[in-house]
Amino acid sequence: MVYYRNGLPMRNANVLTVFGEGKVHVEPNLAFITIGIVRENKNLQTAQAENSVASNNVIQALLALGINQNHIRSVEYRIDNVYDFVDGKQIFRAYEVRHLLEVQVENIGQIGLVVDTAVAQGANIIFNIRFDTSNRSAKYHEALTLALSDAHAKARTITNGLGVVFQPIPIEITETRQGVAPVPYQTFTLEKVAGASTPIEPGTLQIEASLIAKFLY
């Protein structure tokens, strides 16, 4: 392949390929909490009714906290048969009705209150507390800029070691990764969150970008 610089062919050009990565740390300002309402009863209609009442109580209580109705959505509703095993035999115990709600919380300081309120109104599973940021795109662009700077610095180091001069403008750039490094979510049982206030620490998000850049030398 013939490469060109300033419109002129570079017959003996060499290509240096380097990997660059950038990371930006940011405090999250959004949280997504999955709240579960699970009820068991030998009568299916009773189990459904009990779950419906508890689910509605949880939703109404969250709305009263100021959570936007559009930020509360059902992510799972299922009915299962629950069995016990006695002396190697499967014995029907009850019907289990499970309703999972995902709640978006825009006030990080309100997370503990949301958890406690949901439990007080009948939720018995709280899990998958996931943190995010509303300005992820802008922060990713920052990380991408750092990744390009990292690739450029590596190319300079390598060519300096070889005693050659490289062209600082890459001839090709390929993004290879983007996203937010996840904060480990926390899972709570009813016993854990039954206190007066549940402390939730969001930690810090790490937004990552990486690329492959090719330089001529």
Q: Give the number of C-alpha atoms closer than 13 A to the C-alpha of residue 21, restricted to the C-beta side.
A: 8
For the ranges 82-86, 164-168, 187-191, which has the lowest average pLDDT? 187-191
Residue 196 pLDDT > 90: no
pLDDT at 4: 55
Which residues have a Cβ under 8 Å from the Cβ of 171 and sit 6 or more positions away? 3, 15, 214, 215, 216
Whole-number Å distance between alpha carbons of 148 and 211: 7
Greatest pairwise CA separation for the chain in angstroms: 85
CA distances from residue 11 to 18, 215, 217 in whole angstroms, order as listed: 22, 15, 12
Whole-number Å distance between alpha carbons of 148 and 156: 12
Contact 169, 216 (CB under 8 A): no
Q: Look up the pTM and report it.
A: 0.72
Residue 65 pLDDT > 50: yes
pLDDT digits (tens, 9 = 90+) for 118-160: 999 999 999 888 999 999 999 999 999 999 999 999 999 999 9
Q: Provide the total of helices (H) and of strands (E) in the chain, helices listed first.
A: 4, 10
pLDDT digits (tens, 9 = 90+) for 72-130: 999 999 999 999 999 889 999 999 999 999 999 999 889 999 999 999 999 999 988 89
Kindly state the average pLDDT of the residues 173-187: 63
